[in-house]
Amino acid sequence: MNKNLDKVWNYKPDIPLANPSLFRTSLSLGLILSWFFKNWISFSEKIFLLIVAVICWALIYPDLEKAKIFEFNWVFQIWLANFTIMVFFTGSLHLYFYTFKKQANKLKFDHRSLTKKSWLYSFSNQVHDNIFWSLTSGVAQLTAFQVVTYWLMANGISPCFKKISDYPLWFPILFVLLPIWSAFHFYWIHRLLHIPILYKYVHSLHHRNVNVGPWSGLSMHPIEHFLYISSLCLHWILLSHPLHVIFHVLYLGPGAAMTHCGFESLLVKDKKRLELGTFYHQLHHRYYECNYGNQEMPWDRWFGTFHDGSEACTKKIRKIKKSMHF
């Protein structure tokens, strides 16, 4: 079995995949502390995005007071900020891993290079296709949802607080809850997108990327962008600070680039310093009808769509695929 898997993958973690979710029957205090340390104490994707969110909140995004009336200046400022952040972070990941190959193929899941000449992609190039959909519809819809959220908050239509001292406990708790909410929302939206008609005309654009790269993360059909980014609507009804909104935007935008970068971790002196792509989602891009969610939530395990990376699961998923007609 291992030899067959080695032919499929350049790199794979220990198989079968472990369960890092908090949502399980055998939960213990030690597991909770371990999960919290890994995600919110050590240098993780979430901590990295939170640091970036604080910097952007302080220096780049407009003050909430400006958002009371729709005006070109502050709306354009948000769009330009989102566009610049996506270009900088996603572009940096692509340059580091794929252009300059600073990590060679260490911890890269797929043997293959990104596709350069194929009719399957816009402009006959995978990277150009992914950049186009990410920076046009992707950034535009991230901006639209953020603009509406800001306007609702600024006008007191959505619950909002501006002073962190007003809600000193809720402020950090919501940061912990947002990725869990995003995982819940993502699973059910993703299952919807795998309904045959939606898959054929909408979600298949994202699934062109069997071998993913950083620009693949936000490369979607506009309808999928709308559904995916609607995760931000949570702030329309839940008490939030503008910094929560910015963190959420980064989690959906640059965060998707990080999880789709095709490498498990960033290596520094041959040591894993920052977890990036997950083999869990890489399996979804390879086999389609499995691992619809992510490791924050247990839905795939509960509903029989979990692929643990083994050859036995691959055979099971292939049988499911044969019964479906796109």
Whole-angstrom distance, CA of residue 179 vs CA of residue 281: 16
Q: What is the pLDDT of residue 93?
A: 98
Q: Do the Cβ atoms of 317 and 287 come closer than 8 Å? A: yes
- 49 occurs within a structural domain: yes
- 66 occurs within a structural domain: yes
Q: How many other CB atoms are found less than 10 A from the CB of residue 22?
A: 15
Whole-angstrom distance, CA of residue 297 vs CA of residue 189: 14
Predicted confidence pLDDT, tens digits, the chain (326 residues): 455 556 789 999 999 998 888 888 778 889 899 999 999 999 999 999 999 999 999 999 999 999 999 999 999 999 999 999 999 999 999 999 999 999 999 999 999 999 999 999 999 999 999 999 999 999 999 999 999 999 999 999 999 999 999 999 999 999 999 999 999 999 999 999 999 999 999 999 999 999 999 999 999 999 999 999 999 999 999 999 999 999 999 999 999 999 999 999 999 999 999 999 999 999 999 999 999 999 888 999 999 899 999 999 998 888 877 776 44
- 22 occurs within a structural domain: no
Beta-bridge partner residues of 267 = 272
Whole-angstrom distance, CA of residue 149 vs CA of residue 152: 5
CA–CA–CA angle 278, 80, 39 (5° rounding)? 30
- 184 occurs within a structural domain: yes
Parent domain of 67: 2-15+43-322
End-to-end CA distance of the chain: 30
- 281 occurs within a structural domain: yes
Q: How many domains does the chain have?
A: 1
Residue 95, amino acid: L
Whole-angstrom distance, CA of residue 106 vs CA of residue 92: 18
Any idea how long the chain is?
A: 326
Does the predicted TM-score (pTM) go above 0.85? yes
Q: Give 288's contacts (C-beta < 8 A, 6+ positions apart).
A: 194, 207, 317, 321
Nearest alpha-carbon partner for 281 in 259, 251, 254, 255? 259
Q: What is the pLDDT of residue 27?
A: 80
- 171 occurs within a structural domain: yes
- 222 occurs within a structural domain: yes
Q: Do the Cβ atoms of 178 and 248 come closer than 8 Å? A: yes
Beta-bridge partner residues of 274 = 266
Whole-angstrom distance, CA of residue 103 vs CA of residue 106: 6
Whole-angstrom distance, CA of residue 135 vs CA of residue 160: 29
133, 151, 216, 285 from 127: Cα distances, Å? 10, 34, 8, 16
Q: Do the Cβ atoms of 247 and 174 come closer than 8 Å? A: no
- 61 occurs within a structural domain: yes
